[in-house]
Each structure stands twice: as C-alpha cells, then as structure tokens.
C-alpha cells in the first residue's frame, strides 16, 4: 500500500493542481497534505512491526 501511495503522490505532483473541462472543475489535495498522509501510513506500518527489541530475563541455573 505505501508503494502505491508513493506512486500516486508522485503522479499528483507532476499533474496540475486543478483542471476545468466542460464546466466541471477538479482540484487535488494539497501536496503537503498528501505527504503527511504518506508519512502517517509509513509510521503506522512501522508500528505494526514492533520495536525490534525483545526483553528477556536470564537466570543462571545455580542461582537461588
């Protein structure tokens, strides 16, 4: 999903911000907003992976 989103942001950045054809007008979201959405999804994906740290308690077999 993030790769598709990245490609879509790139495509939107290369195109016009707004267009009007036969009385119908189309305006895209601000590029800054699109980048923020991309960052949000990227951070959300990173959080699903976990922290990458595993804490374990080591106890020697002779310790009492």
Q: Does 64 reside within a domain?
A: no
| The pLDDT of residue 25 is above 60 | yes
Asked if residue 14 is part of any domain, the answer here is yes
Domains in the chain: how many in total? 1
> Is the overall model pTM greater than 0.85, yes or no?
no
Does residue 59 fall inside a structural domain? no
**61 in a structural domain:** no
Mean predicted confidence (pLDDT) in 32-59: 77
Q: Calculate mean pLDDT across residues 49-55.
A: 67
Summarize the confidence of residues 5-12 as an average pLDDT: 78
- Does residue 7 sit within a domain? yes
Bridge partner residues of 48 (DSSP)? none
Do the domain assignments include residue 41?
yes
Q: Which domain holds residue 18?
A: 2-49
Contact 18, 44 (CB under 8 A): no
Length of the chain measured in residues: 64
Asked whether residue 42 is domain-assigned, the answer is yes
Does the pLDDT of residue 50 top 70, yes or no? Answer: no
Domain membership of residue 54 (yes or no) is no
- The answer for 46, left when phi > 0, alpha when psi is -120 to 50, beta otherwise, is alpha
**Mean pLDDT, residues 17-34 taken together:** 84
Q: How far apart are CA 63 and CA 57, in angstroms?
A: 13
Q: What is the mean pLDDT of residues 18-42?
A: 84
């Amino acid at each position: 999903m993030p790769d598709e989103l990245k490609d879509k942001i790139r495509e939107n950045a290369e195109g016009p911000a707004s267009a009007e054809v036969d009385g119908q007008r189309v305006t895209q979201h601000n590029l800054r907003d699109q980048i923020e959405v991309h960052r949000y999804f990227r951070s959300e994906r990173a959080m699903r992976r976990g922290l990458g740290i595993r804490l374990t308690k080591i106890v020697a077999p002779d310790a009492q």
